[in-house]
Amino acid sequence: MSLALQDPVSALAGVGEKRQAALRDLGIFTIEDLLTYYPFRYQDLGERMPSETLDGEKVTFKGIVSTPAVVRRFGKKSQTVLGLLIDRENIRVTFFNQPWVAKNIEVGQEVAVYGTYNASRAALSAIKLVPATTNALDPIYPTTKSVRAKTIADLVEQAWGLMRGQMPNLVPAELRKKYRLLDKNQQVEWCHFPSDKAEAKAGRRSAAFEEFFIFQMRLQLIKQADQSFGGQALAYDNQAVQAFIDQLPYQLTNAQDRVVGEILADQKTAQHMNRLLQGDVGSGKTVVAAIAMYATVTAGCQAAMMAPTEILAQQHAKSLAKLFASAGLDLRVELLTSGLKAGQRRQILADLESGEIDIVVGTHALVQDDVYFHHLGLAVIDEQHRFGVKQRSKLREGGMNPDILAMTATPIPRTLSITAYGEMEVSIIDELPAGRKQIITSQMPNRQFDQALALLQAELAKGAQAYVVTPLIEESETLDVRNVTEVYQNLQAALPSYTVGLLHGRLPKEDKDTLMQGFKDNQVQVLVATTVVEVGVDVPNASIMLILDADRFGLAQLHQLRGRVGRGDRQSYTVLVADPKTDYGKERLKALVDTTDGFELAQKDLELRGAGDILGTKQSGMPEFQVGDPVKDLTMLTIAQQEALTLVREPGWDEEVDNRALVAYLSQTMAQFRHFD
């Protein structure tokens, strides 16, 4: 069989439709993706002597089978016991529920067994029989429920057998030499099948550099493409904008004032704006966006705002309309979401195209193929990491290249954000509006739930409202996850004089809307919700949030959730109800209790997560790296950035023979982004 790197994984034996779909969820589409899907750790199967092994340690013993394997059955369970002679010491090896091993073992045969050592009994509780050919380090792949790590290992082995030696170098030879990086084939082999730790380390070092370098190349190319489109110089009405700012119900904070200046300056020039507005929850990004949008409208253009969820889109549309109306401005703001009736949608599309709508707010529905603008001058993207390259490039279609203002409430340590968002300019709101009270955060074990409930009741008694957040809606997911419906019913019973609402992702759109409106109007006092309330929801009268099983959320997500309270004049509280089982879980909650500063938390989060944890990266807003760790390997990331920049600035770099594979890879994978995003 001949195979190409770009062939789909289904070209391998044993990959049917179902497995293909499971692999796709891991981002593995092609043979190349599979071969660069590296293990996240290695299991040390290194052979040792019992005398060198501590009690309770996992170890591989190699020896001669000294007594025949005896299987004892207990109903469905079984134990298989045999003696293993290692040097002159006899070890008793027990396999639990693996009766078949007895068939493969004979007295006098040499075998290797991996398991947990019990020193006082000179016994090994066996995990598996290790084939003689196995590597000293067993690669462990990150995976999901739908595909086993072992399956991935087998597929990698199969693919590597067919592709060995055929992987082109993406990192230019000059850089490989300069930084002592491996040839790609050696890199791949040492990452998957290291024969010792040094090989694994060297393989991963090269893989990390390659990953960072490719990432930085993409950023540089996106940036170049952005600039090549050219921007629009908006001749906005400075006086009108100033008048709008003066009409606001509050004075802008210094930080808001500064970033407004940065954004308006960008809008005025012909250079295309691609700016990221970073500001902690509650720092007042919406009004900054509103000012930029209004400026756009005074220049005779339209502005669009994209939000990640319908609830947020609705809320933005409403608060924008209110802001403009209260300033006496007659702007037409419309909402475009997938929930619209066909007729309404058609009307809005027509009015967008004719330019009758000044500002449109929506979800992904804004970047559908049938949406045309009369003259789009600015696109605001809320929570930018949830929109991909495709959405942004769609906005550019039709010859217009609107300025982009992306907003994120996920603070990233400053040094890192410059690297991570290398293609964007960054504006930071590092100040909360005056008079905000610090949110008081506490943590309680589940058995003290009554105390948390008492706190909640006290707030309700003061006329405030409350959120109760639970991680999942399905009991079946894991037994110990509270079922949101159950929580809802219990609260209803516990709080008879208040109205309790239940909000989760499965609810029909109209019900969600009615409920959110009811909560805003204080007809509903307690909102029990899954993470639908995560981002941006603004109800200033809510002063307390209980987060149940809080250890199941990532740090960034918890910080986001907490930002739903403390939005008004009331002293606000967040209570984390959880019994964290891991150190990481404990530290995360402690960090949240200790500080409300998002930048500090972001730093803490990155430190806590380190390289090993694959989960959680999605929530952080940071780009995901497979091998490299942007915290630990920051120097390498920075070098990769400089080298990528140097390369793209070299005239004709993309025509050099040595860079052919790199150029092909970039154009393939960047096109791929557009398809799958």
Per CB under 5 A, residues contacting Mg ion are 536
Minimum distance between the CB of residue 603 and ligand ADP, rounded to whole angstroms? 20
Do the beta carbons of residue 283 and residue 255 sit within 8 Å?
A: yes
Using CB under 6 A as the binding rule, the residues of this chain from 377 to 416 that contact ligand ADP are 409
Binder among 169, 256, 298, 408 for ligand ADP (CB under 6 A): 256
Do the beta carbons of residue 170 and residue 36 sit within 8 Å?
A: no
Choosing among Mg ion, ligand ADP, none, which partner's interface includes residue 250 (Cβ < 5 to 8 Å by kind)?
ligand ADP
Choosing among Mg ion, ligand ADP, none, which partner's interface includes residue 282 (Cβ < 5 to 8 Å by kind)?
ligand ADP
Cα 546 to chain centroid, rounded = 24
| 500 phi, psi to nearest 5 deg | -110, 135
* Residue whose C-alpha is closest to residue 640's, from 208, 264, 256, 308: 208
Closest residue to ligand ADP, Cβ-based?
284
Minimum distance between the CB of residue 409 and ligand ADP, rounded to whole angstroms? 5
Binder among 231, 282, 411, 630 for ligand ADP (CB under 6 A): 282
Binder among 216, 220, 253, 274 for ligand ADP (CB under 6 A): 253
Structure tokens of 326?
């209260």
520 lies in the binding site for ligand ADP (CB under 6 A): no
Q: Sort strands 89-96 and 110-118 into parallel, antiparallel or unpaired.
A: unpaired
Region of 276 on the Ramachandran plot (φ > 0 left; ψ -120 to 50 alpha; else beta):
beta
User: What single-letter amino acid sits at 456?
Assistant: L
d(CA 570, CA 553): 26
Binder among 286, 337, 391, 443 for ligand ADP (CB under 6 A): 286
| 277 phi, psi to nearest 5 deg | -100, 110
Q: Tell me how far CA of residue 333 lies from CA of 328, 360, 555, 604, in angstroms.
A: 14, 6, 35, 40
User: What single-letter amino acid sits at 660?
Assistant: R
| 566 phi, psi to nearest 5 deg | 75, 25
Quickly list DSSP for 644-655: HHHHHHSTTGGG
Choosing among Mg ion, ligand ADP, none, which partner's interface includes residue 216 (Cβ < 5 to 8 Å by kind)?
none
Cα 310 to chain centroid, rounded = 20
- State which residue, 216 or 410, has the beta carbon closest to Mg ion: 410
Choosing among ligand ADP, Mg ion, none, which partner's interface includes residue 377 (Cβ < 5 to 8 Å by kind)?
none
Choosing among ligand ADP, Mg ion, none, which partner's interface includes residue 9 (Cβ < 5 to 8 Å by kind)?
none
Using CB under 6 A as the binding rule, the residues of this chain from 3 to 22 that contact ligand ADP are none
Minimum distance between the CB of residue 284 and ligand ADP, rounded to whole angstroms? 3
Binder among 81, 252, 481, 661 for ligand ADP (CB under 6 A): 252
250 lies in the binding site for ligand ADP (CB under 6 A): yes
The one segment of 133-141, 238-246, 516-524, 535-543 that binds ligand ADP by CB under 6 A? 535-543
Structure tokens of 550?
């809080």
564 lies in the binding site for ligand ADP (CB under 6 A): no
Binder among 83, 99, 433, 623 for ligand ADP (CB under 6 A): 433
Minimum distance between the CB of residue 256 and ligand ADP, rounded to whole angstroms? 6
Report the run of H or E that residue 352 belongs to, with start and end. helix 342-354
Structure tokens of 518?
């009811």
List residues bridging with 547 in a β-sheet.
469, 576
- State which residue, 203 or 536, has the beta carbon closest to Mg ion: 536
559 lies in the binding site for ligand ADP (CB under 6 A): no
- State which residue, 50 or 536, has the beta carbon closest to Mg ion: 536
- State which residue, 542 or 576, has the beta carbon closest to ligand ADP: 542
Do the beta carbons of residue 212 and residue 640 sit within 8 Å?
A: yes
**How many residues at the interface with ligand ADP, by CB under 6 A?**
19
d(CA 390, CA 588): 34
Do the beta carbons of residue 266 and residue 275 sit within 8 Å?
A: yes
Minimum distance between the CB of residue 452 and Mg ion, rounded to whole angstroms? 27
Choosing among Mg ion, ligand ADP, none, which partner's interface includes residue 443 (Cβ < 5 to 8 Å by kind)?
none
Minimum distance between the CB of residue 403 and Mg ion, rounded to whole angstroms? 19
User: Alpha-carbon torsion 233, 238, 243, 247, what sign?
Assistant: positive
Minimum distance between the CB of residue 417 and ligand ADP, rounded to whole angstroms? 16
Question: Residue numbers of the site for ligand ADP (CB under 6 A)?
Answer: 250-253, 256, 279, 281-287, 409, 433, 536, 538, 540, 567
